Amino acid sequence: MTQLEREQWDVVVVGAGGAGLRAAIEARERGARTAVICKSLFGKAHTVMAEGGIAASMGNVNSGDNWQVHFRDTMRGGKFLNQWRMAELHAQEAPDRVWELETWGALFDRTADGKISQRNFGGHEYPRLAHVGDRTGLELIRTLQQKIVALQQEDFREFGDYEARLKVFQECTVTSVLKEGERVSGTFCYERESGRFFVLEAPAVVLATGGIGKSFKVTSNSWEYTGDGHALALLAGAPLLNMEFVQFHPTGMVWPPSVKGILVTESVRGDGGVLRNSDGKRFMFDYIPDVFKEKYAESEAEGDRWYEDPDNNRRPPELLPRDEVARAINSEVKAGRGSPHGGVFLDVSTRMTADVIQRRLPSMYHQFKELADVDITAEAMEVGPTCHYVMGGIAVDSDSAATPGVPGLYAAGEVAGGMHGSNRLGGNSLSDLLVFGRRAGLHAAEYAAALTTRPVLDEGQIDAAATEALRPFGAEAPEGGGAPENPYSVHQELQQTMNDLVGIIRREGEMEQALQRLGELRSRAARAGVEGHRQFNPGWHLAIDLRNMLLVSECIALSALERTESRGGHTREDWPGMALDWRPVNLHCRLNDSARDPATDPTLARISLSRKTTEPIRPDLLALFEKEELVKYLAEEELHE
């Protein structure tokens, strides 16, 4: 029996980004003793990097906005593959979540008449993104942290202990969700600085671990995005949904190489930035797909007029959903019309004066000045697609955020699937975190409170988790001699494989090749070894994370191979169109039972894939669309129904 510290909680929230903090606040406010655990320093989660804003149909800048319009935009953006009930709840509840943030102290930018200001973003019909310059995520996290501290102060007054009902374990990683039978019993964790193992015993666990970007070479994501929550859920027996849908944001930095992939916020285009190729042409006018033709300007003049008079003009195609813009940039570069460093030009200097740019886009101004020596108030930026967000994720119940088949396991935020369908609209993540973070916290707390007996820890699972975590210290050398595998080399090859073979444009043969390489990388990762000891040892942490990245990558490649159509973030060169009969199909990935046995040959596929039919969209929600639009998306039998 492994000797380690154990603490008892009602709810454990894994992740302290927007989703995790909102879940923790709700669970604690519902009376659950709640622990939050995060890999990074408290306050340093990925959410901090969010720039452009949070989407909510408050109608402050255009009173035509309401939840129905937001719902429609979200469904169109996701090409109707969204879990429609999530899209409905999200559109209805997002304004309340923003106003609530304000009552907790968030300071949003204001309109001239003192309301929360809202800006334009791709795919949103009206200005909808509440923002704080281009540092919205920072304000969101700051506000949620402040609320957590306020709750801890309340507890101190009542119990003489700040951590009586809400405690944060920072710089600690969860490597396993523990179970008693089917139901959750806690988490196995290690402290990154000391390497100390510990267990948080709890009947309810909320996974809020964010995304998977670090499996790709060019990404806007931070080091934390190694798909941990996705893998934890798979290993605990929950399915992952539609993992083929990975969002490549159209505008990442392409130069210099050390910063390739860092995000250039969509606010640049929302505030009037135009995209040009090396011929100086505004090429997006050539890439408006049929489903969007009626909603976008036909000429530069009309697009330009829209900024001043949106009611009588259509929006410019630079504001098409991200998948469309990313593909267009990719095509221009491939056709030899790219910028010197393999991107295209994004120019905001001709639209706004230098001081307005510095006020509205301060981070972008500094980012380009400091990292690329480019003054965006006077010259164009060079930009190209970067892996940004995963729409696929843990399958959840729309209302409660509960995972199917694993009582006590919940998921919210980027790690959860369904909400965004095949493509997420900008700004819809921050609102998703708050809406579903709150719901996950609420339902996890209610579930824990309703239990008559607490689940019991299984010592065998704890021993197995400890053995697995320590394996890189005793890694075997490959047959024939030589050193054990270097986790950094395996990681680099994984990133290159995913970028080259399962990237923005996909082909059958390449994905098959990727799956074969992933098999090889899995067996190399099983031999990845590290030197030294458990005190802060980044090589060891990476060796542990490799398991997660490889599992998630396998799910992405398998699902992408299976879906023989192009939809949203999934583009198949060999299956170019959107196929109506794929609209009602969800792909579920589950871990094979044999894969849980460490003796199984790691080169063998561990994931099984199944097709599930989606629930029919409720008629009153379908009635929000014109029939002429629905025929572009829905399969014939769905229309008849």
- Indicate which residues carry an active-site annotation: 322
Residue 125 CB neighbours (<10 A):
18
Tokens coding 145: 């942290």
Tokens coding 483: 């050193």
> Is the CB of 321 or the CB of 584 nearer to ligand FAD?
321
> Is the CB of 528 or the CB of 552 nearer to ligand FAD?
552
Residue 316 contacts residue 304 (beta carbons within 8 Å) = yes
Give the shortest CB-14-to-ligand FAD separation in angstroms.
5
Q: Which residue has the tokens 């669309």?
A: 625
Residue 401 contacts residue 416 (beta carbons within 8 Å) = yes
> Is the CB of 39 or the CB of 217 nearer to ligand FAD?
39
Measured between alpha carbons, how far is 462 from 234 in angstroms, rounded to an integer? 18
How big is the CA angle at 326 (ends 373 and 132), to the nearest 5 degrees? Answer: 60
- Taking 3-state DSSP, the helix, strand and coil percentages for the chain, each rounded to the nearest 5, stand at 40, 15, 40
The residues binding ligand FAD (CB under 6 A) are 14-20, 37-40, 45-47, 49-54, 136-137, 173-174, 208-210, 220-221, 224, 228, 263, 389, 413-415, 426-430, 433
Q: What is the H or E stretch that residue 368 is in?
A: helix 362-372
Partners of 381 in the β-ladder? 346
Give the shortest CB-206-to-ligand FAD separation in angstroms.
11
**CA 147 to chain centroid:** 24
> Is the CB of 49 or the CB of 58 nearer to ligand FAD?
49
Give the shortest CB-296-to-ligand FAD separation in angstroms.
22
How is residue 280 annotated by DSSP? S
- The alpha carbon dihedral of 300, 302, 305, 306 has a sign of negative
Q: What is the H or E stretch that residue 34 is in?
A: strand 34-37
Give the shortest CB-414-to-ligand FAD separation in angstroms.
4
CB-closest chain residue to ligand FAD: 17
**Quick check: helix, strand or coil at residue 502?**
coil
Partners of 411 in the β-ladder? 207
Measured between alpha carbons, how far is 349 from 414 in angstroms, rounded to an integer? 33
Q: Which residue has the tokens 């700040």?
A: 162
> Is the CB of 191 or the CB of 382 nearer to ligand FAD?
191
Give the shortest CB-372-to-ligand FAD separation in angstroms.
16
Nearest to 252 by CA among 163, 105, 368: 368
Tokens coding 292: 């969007």
Give the shortest CB-640-to-ligand FAD separation in angstroms.
36
Give the shortest CB-425-to-ligand FAD separation in angstroms.
8
Contacts of 299 (CB under 8 A, 6+ apart): 285
Give the shortest CB-335-to-ligand FAD separation in angstroms.
28
Alpha helices in 207-353 (DSSP H): 228-236, 267-270, 300-306, 322-334
> Is the CB of 503 or the CB of 584 nearer to ligand FAD?
503
> Is the CB of 283 or the CB of 540 nearer to ligand FAD?
540
Alpha helices in 471-624 (DSSP H): 487-501, 508-526, 538-562, 619-622
> Is the CB of 121 or the CB of 575 nearer to ligand FAD?
121
One DSSP character per residue, 425-441 reads PTTHHHHHHHHHHHHHH
